[in-house]
Amino acid sequence: MHSPSPAVRKIKTYAVTPRPNAQSPRQLHLSAWDTTMLSANYIQKGLLFKNPSDLSVEQIIERLRISLEEALFHFYPLSGRIRAATCEGGGVTCHVEVGCEGEGAEFVHAVADGIGMIDLVAADGQDLPVFLKEFFPLDLAVNFDGSTNPLLAVQITKLIDGIFIGCAFNHTIGDGTAFWMFFNGWAEIARCKAGGMEVVLSQFPVHDKWFIGGYGEPPIKLPFTSPAEFVVRSSPPPLRERMFHFSSETLAKLKARANQECGKGTSLI
């Protein structure tokens, strides 16, 4: 069993803001579907990498921080905050204000003393190390907490032999597909800047929200007079979380089998 209390130290926290974008709107209204996510938790995703031979961890962190500024220029809603206002006659409207006060996203440089990659990757079918949650920012936060917390928070944790990138992404801004579009765009920007090339994204985000004409037009007015009436913080019972390892070959077979069962593609099994 792994130690329940590793020393994860935050070295420095940055507020990363994008360069000015005259085309980004001051307000982005949430759709009816977005408002249903206000009590859900932030999306959390993490990636684990070995230390490269040609870069120090400090150089990696600086490159990621600088490239995040450019990424937020394109994914500008992530630099804002959720605002809630009480309307005349009752009711609450929620929207996102983008960079109005320059809060930006959060970028944390942390160190896990005495922790290596092997400590982070539990054996196949075994319980996750209990300290893994310390590698993610904004753990247990709900999406409405984006009114005071950043909508995007990234923690780069230095290990003995690698780095762990933990991200918290507000679910009212996008889903898992949107998260990976952002992350891949950020990676493209980092590679371009490292190579001294012009930044060109292979896929640009679309920030327009869909509203049904004549129904649910912005701003959405919630049937409440205070956020306290609709923000719910669940307290789930203790859960055991386990890790399972899948090779690329196994994943390819699973995808092929799923395609075959739904009448698409050719099975590899």
Stretches in the chain below the pLDDT threshold 50: 1-4, 267-269
Q: What is the CATH number of the domain that holds 29?
A: 3.30.559.10
Count of other CB atoms within 10 angstroms of residue 12: 10
Q: How many domains does the chain have?
A: 1
User: Is 48 among the domain residues?
Assistant: yes
Domain that holds residue 36: 9-240
User: Is 4 among the domain residues?
Assistant: no
Strand partners, 121: none
Largest CA distance in the chain: 63
3-state secondary structure (DSSP) of residue 134: helix
Which pLDDT value is given to residue 214? 61
43 token code pair: 């999306």
Which pLDDT value is given to residue 236? 79
Which pLDDT value is given to residue 2? 47
CB neighbour list of residue 65: distance below 8 Å, 6 or more residues apart: 14, 16, 107
User: Is 254 among the domain residues?
Assistant: no
Which pLDDT value is given to residue 268? 43
Phi-psi bin for 193: left (phi > 0), alpha (psi -120 to 50), beta?
Answer: alpha
Please give the C-alpha separations between residue 264 and each of 233, 251, 257, 259, 267, in angstroms, as whole numbers. 41, 16, 9, 5, 9
User: Is 3 among the domain residues?
Assistant: no
Q: pTM of the predicted model, to two decimals?
A: 0.87
User: Is 28 among the domain residues?
Assistant: yes
Phi-psi bin for 234: left (phi > 0), alpha (psi -120 to 50), beta?
Answer: beta
Which pLDDT value is given to residue 4? 46
Cα(167)–Cα(135) distance, rounded to whole angstroms? 9
Which pLDDT value is given to residue 1? 42
User: Is 256 among the domain residues?
Assistant: no
Task: Give the dihedral of Cα atoms 195, 198, 201, 207; nearest 10 deg.
Answer: 130
28 token code pair: 């982005």
Q: For 264, how many CA atoms within 13 A lie in the half-sphere containing its CB?
A: 4
Cα(122)–Cα(4) distance, rounded to whole angstroms? 14
